[in-house]
A = this chain, B = another copy of it.
Amino acid sequence: MQETIIDKDTRLLVVSAHAGDFIWRSGGTIAKYIKHGAQVSLVILSYGARGESNDLWNDLNQTMENVKKIRRQEIEEATKQLGVTDYEIWDLQDYHMSVTDQDKERMLRKIREVQPHVILTHGPKDAFNPDHELVSNFVFEASVLSTSNGVRLEDTKRSKQSSIFGFEPHQAEISDFKPEVIIDITETYEQKVAAMNCFKAQKHLIDYYSAKALIRGNQARRCSGNNEYQYAEAFTRFFPYVGGTFN
């Protein structure tokens, strides 16, 4: 049996609530898609300045402007490690994040422009992060509306329904996360580590997601019998797999 192939006609859209989410949760997978020639578009909705920059705010003179500047540099370096060139930062507020009608239209427009086969974003529940839940719903609804002929938007054309996959949240079990899809990232694991290291202040997260990659790799071996899998990332599916064969 031969696997689905990633090539230059493969379009992947990644939507990340905060600066680091796309790296911790899908850095290896993104690097792999790029390595195999896929078109990867990345949307980073916020800098995570309020909710995911704890260490920076230990400096009492810290400013919002400076925090964003630091996070922007980290994003730039990390995307370089993964090979991502097509990315945009929307600079929404985080903690609480909210989305306006304009944001909704912008996401819809983005999906119709990219016409992604696969969308990667946050899954529907995250026990400790309300922003992630909002983004999950935001992206899902935009993907549904994007398929409807009657949702007219100048200069766009209706897209097919993308397959959507949800990131693993920080605390998987209490967020009701199920690893429905486990992607082998052995060949790009070093790139993921390099990208994680761009967020130097968050050493405990680097350790955490390194441990996760090892654990998911072990499970990948057990579920498949394929001993070449060493590191992996897990995702949940938004709807059933549809295709011509079992996979």
Contact = CB atoms under 8 A, between A and B. Distances in A.
A243 B150 contact: no
Interface in A223-247: 223-226, 229, 232, 234-235, 237, 239-247
Contacts of A7: 1-2
Contact of A242 (B57, B172, B220, B244): B220
B234 A240 contact: yes
Interface stretch (A75-83, A84-92, A189-197, A203-211): A203-211
Most buried by B among A10, A58, A170, A215: A215
Interface string A1-22: 1111111011000000000000
Given A172-B173, A222-B171, A128 B144 contact: yes
Contacts of A4: 1-4, 243-247
Contacts of A70: none
Contacts of A242: 182, 184, 219-220, 223-224, 226, 229, 232
Contacts of A243: 3-4, 181-184, 224, 247
A246 to B, nearest CB: 5
Interface string A151-172: 1100000011101010000111
A31 to B, nearest CB: 13
B240 A218 contact: no
Given A3-B4, A147-B225, A240 B183 contact: no
A247 B241 contact: yes
Contacts of A141: 96, 130
Contact of A182 (B33, B118, B241): B241
Contacts of A220: 242
Given A1-B117, A57-B150, A178-B174, A95 B204 contact: no
A10 to B, nearest CB: 5
A247 to B, nearest CB: 5
Interface in A51-79: 51-58, 67
20 contacts: A1-B6, A4-B4, A4-B243, A32-B244, A50-B151, A50-B152, A53-B150, A57-B150, A95-B150, A117-B246, A130-B144, A171-B222, A174-B178, A180-B241, A181-B246, A182-B241, A208-B214, A212-B215, A215-B215, A229-B242
Give me the 3 closest cross-chain CB pairs, A-B, nearest first: A160-B225, A211-B211, A57-B149
